[in-house]
Amino acid sequence: MSERKIGVYVCQCGGNISDYVDVERVRQAVAEDPDVVVARTAMFTCSDATQDEIADDIKLDDLDGLVVASCSPKLHTFTFRGVARRAGLNPYRYTQVNLREQDSWAHTDDRLGATEKAIRLVRAGIARTRLLEPLDPTVVETVPRALVIGAGIAGLRAAIGLADIGLGVVLIEREAEVGGHVRELGTMYPHDRQGQELISELLGEVRRREGIALFTNAELVRKGGTFGNYEVDIRTRGDSNMTRRFEVGSIIVATGFDSYLPEEGEYGYGIPGVLTLPEFKKLVDASEGPLVYGDRPVRSVAYIYCVGSRQGESGPHQYCSRFCCTSAVHTDLELRAKAPKVHQYHLYRDMRTYGRYELLYNDSREKGSAYLKFAPDTPPEVQRRGDGQLEVRVHDQLASQEEVNLDVDLVVLVTGMVPRSNQELIQRLKLPVGRDGFFNEIHPKLRPVETVVDGVAICGACQFPKTAGESVASGLAAVSWSAAMLKQGRAELDPQVATVDPDLCTFCGVCMEACPYGAIGQQELGGSRQVAVIDPATCKGCGGCAPLCPEHAINVLGYTGREVEAMIESLAAGVA
């Protein structure tokens, strides 16, 4: 058995753990391990005093491994890595054992069971720590400039924020004009500002800042270099097709969404007078008095909600598009202000005017618009009669359970948001795409704009359906994320990545195919033998390649086969 000097700290968490787990019994049980030289309990392991005590132990006993058994690793992994580092112990020779969220709190009804589980969990932590090798994070220098892709409201606002904290910005927009969907909008909720106006104000702010280079008709055609110093080639179309190269430290993707386009015949789409929400919104924005469509006055409108959203098993768009309930209600109010006599009927599945938008919904009802709830399995039917009048038939679930016939001049299909088609960009940046087709952040709450691709963030409605305000908020989050990384001039990459054992590798190529990030290359070993090699700066450490290697040559550091098996042994063993 290897001789290691491991320190183990079992936390009481001020009773959160010790009320349900006999921490002293846990301490005694693990102290018997010959590799454990210090085993203590503490009231609050994360307190400054205990952190100092751990650091002292590390120095005094020359510890080469650290196990902290306290709360979830999501909370204090960085705290205790820091303690190790300060005391001269390699921070990757530390294991966090989850005794609170996954033990004491989950088994408040079973003190003996929770205590025995704690012993097993801590022993598994020790078993892993025994095998951990010291690792050094890859430190990279970062260029103080960011590339922002997409000049919708999210990208424009992000570019301004980046410039204001002193970072250089390259802002590219694929279209001839900036502004994305908001440029097309008149009056917007919640502040009744004009979309076009908002965009021209933002464009003015962008132009005023020397640090921002804006290119329209422009696309990213190549990304090279490595994290911290990506080389990006931007091609602009137009009079002069030109490619320019920039070095950037971070890339912020703000490429937005597309509006759902109904199929021919879906709720009568294709019949004159059946419009999508964006089409109808344009019509209302442009109208100055009573609404006219074609050359006929519009006296009545029926809205059909959730078109292209919440499709259940029957379609690819199973999510709620979030903005559309409020947008339809807001457009109802906008129209009512211009043409008070119009009858407006809203055929909805569930009203989702969340937060303060509820007030708009109340306002619309109080002013006389009718709301009828239909069930997804009996959707409304739209027909055009001989005289050109549109007829909508719907089962009103609430009022009567009866079929209601509405004669209307316009039908508005309240269409949702769908992912924008952007295959080339996805390929070029290796963007993680979710099953719904929108881009995936690492974690919606804890790391809401970062992606697993180092140095690449996402914001705005390319993540999931968002309002303009929500899009801007995430744009600013991407600014802070860039600042944290680029203002220091250096960044660290997690060294817990995959490695290939060259002695085992036969270079069959399986792993190269398995890695979507292109992290695996080829290397010539002595005697012209070829083996696979993994670039630690590109590898994400997902481990997807490892179980596919027929030679078991690949391991993720910190999660190696030996480490996991040692943990399994400890978890399975008796606790006596």
Partner 1 sequence: MATTMAPPAPTAGTTFGPKILVFSTNNISDPGIDLAGSSHLHYSPRAMTIAVPCSSGIAPEWIAYAFDQGFDGVFIASDGEECSYLTDCSERSAKLFERAQAMMAEKGYAPERLKMAAICSVCAEPFVKYMHEFEAQLRELGPVGVA
Ligand X SMILES: Cc1cc2nc3c(=O)[nH]c(=O)nc-3n(C[C@H](O)[C@H](O)[C@H](O)COP(=O)(O)OP(=O)(O)OC[C@H]3O[C@@H](n4cnc5c(N)ncnc54)[C@H](O)[C@@H]3O)c2cc1C
Site for ligand SF4, rule CB under 6 A: 497-498, 500, 505-511, 514-515, 517, 519-520, 532, 534, 539-545, 549, 551, 553-554, 556
Pairwise CA distance, residues 109 & 21, whole Å: 11
Nearest distance, CB of residue 129 and ligand SF4, angstroms = 22
According to the binding rule CB under 6 A, does residue 223 interact with ligand X?
no
Spatial strand order in the sheet of 390-395: 381-384, 390-395, 403-408
The one of ligand X, ligand SF4, partner 1, none whose footprint includes residue 534, by CB under 5 to 8 A per kind, is ligand SF4
Which partner from the list ligand X, partner 1, ligand SF4, none does 452 bind, CB cut-off 5 to 8 Å by kind?
partner 1
Task: Kindly state the smallest distance separating residue 151's Cβ from ligand X, in Å.
Answer: 5
Which option in ligand SF4, partner 1, ligand X, none does residue 519 bind, with CB closer than 5 to 8 A by kind?
ligand SF4
Residues pairing with 65 in the sheet: 6
Using the rule CB under 8 A, is 108 a contact of partner 1? yes
Q: Which of 467, 482, 555, 560 binds ligand X (CB under 6 A)?
A: 467
Backbone φ and ψ of 78, nearest 5°: -70, -35
Of the candidate residues 61, 110, 136, 192, the single one contacting partner 1 (CB under 8 A): 110
- From ligand X, partner 1, ligand SF4, none, interface partner of 182 (C-beta below 5 to 8 A by class): ligand X
The yes or no reply on residue 430 touching ligand X (CB under 6 A) is no
Nearer to ligand SF4 (CB atom), residue 34 or residue 516: 516
Minimum Å distance from CB 496 to partner 1? Answer: 8
* Footprint (CB under 6 A) of ligand X, residues 152-181: 152-155, 172-175, 180-181
Contacts with 565 (C-beta within 8 Å, 6 or more apart), sequence order: none
Q: How far apart are CA 122 and CA 68, in angstroms?
A: 8
Q: Which does 259 bind (CB under 5 to 8 A by kind): ligand X, partner 1, ligand SF4, none?
A: ligand X
In the list partner 1, ligand SF4, ligand X, none, the entry touching 124 (Cβ below 5 to 8 angstroms by class) is partner 1
Tell me whether residue 252 or residue 486 sits nearer to ligand X (CB atom).
Answer: 252
Which residues lie closer than 8 Å to 334 by C-beta, 6 or more apart? 186, 187, 284, 285
One of 409, 441, 454, 470 touching partner 1 (CB under 8 A): 441
End-to-end CA distance of the chain: 21
Q: Of these, 80, 92, 257, 303, which contacts ligand X (CB under 6 A)?
A: 257
CB 411 within 8 A of CB 280: no
Contact 17, 44 (CB under 8 A): no
Within 8 A by CB and 6+ apart from 541, the residues are 494, 496, 497, 498, 556, 557
- Confirm or reject binding of residue 20 to ligand X (CB under 6 A): no
433 binds partner 1 (CB under 8 A): yes
Instruction: Provide CB contacts within 8 A for 288, sequence distance 6+.
Output: 338
H or E segment at 146? strand 145-149
Q: Which of residues 288-327 bind ligand X (CB under 6 A)?
A: 323, 327
3-class SS string, 330-394:
HHHHHHHHHCCCCEEEEEECCCCCCHHHHHHHHHHHHCCCEEEECCCCCCCEEEECCCCCEEEEE
Asked if 165 interacts with partner 1 (CB under 8 A), we say no
Near partner 1 by CB under 8 A: residue from 177, 263, 524, 565: 565
- Residue type present at position 219: E
Own/partner pairs, 19-24, CB within 8 angstroms, 24+ separation: 19/104, 19/108, 20/103, 20/104, 20/105, 20/107, 20/108, 20/111, 20/114, 21/99, 21/103, 21/104, 21/111, 21/114, 21/115, 21/118, 22/111, 22/115, 23/118
Segment interacting with partner 1 (CB under 8 A) among 164-172, 178-186, 349-357, 565-573 = 565-573
* Whole-angstrom distance, CA of residue 231 vs CA of residue 222: 8
For the bound state, the minimum distance from the C-beta of residue 542 to ligand SF4, rounded and expressed in Å, comes to 4
Q: Which residues pair with 458 in a beta bridge?
A: 253
Closer to ligand X by CB, 355 or 526: give it. 355
Give yes or no for a contact between 271 and 176, defined as CB atoms under 8 angstroms apart.
no
Distance, in Å, from the CA atom of 81 to the CA atom of 446, rounded to the nearest integer, reads 19
Binding region for partner 1 (CB under 8 A): 72-74, 98, 100-110, 113-114, 116-117, 120-121, 124, 432-436, 440-446, 451-452, 496, 516, 540-544, 546-547, 552, 556, 559, 561, 564-565, 567-569, 571-573
Interface positions with ligand X (CB under 6 A): 149-155, 172-175, 180-182, 185, 188-189, 219, 254-257, 259, 277-278, 281, 323, 327, 330, 420, 422, 425, 460-461, 466-469, 471
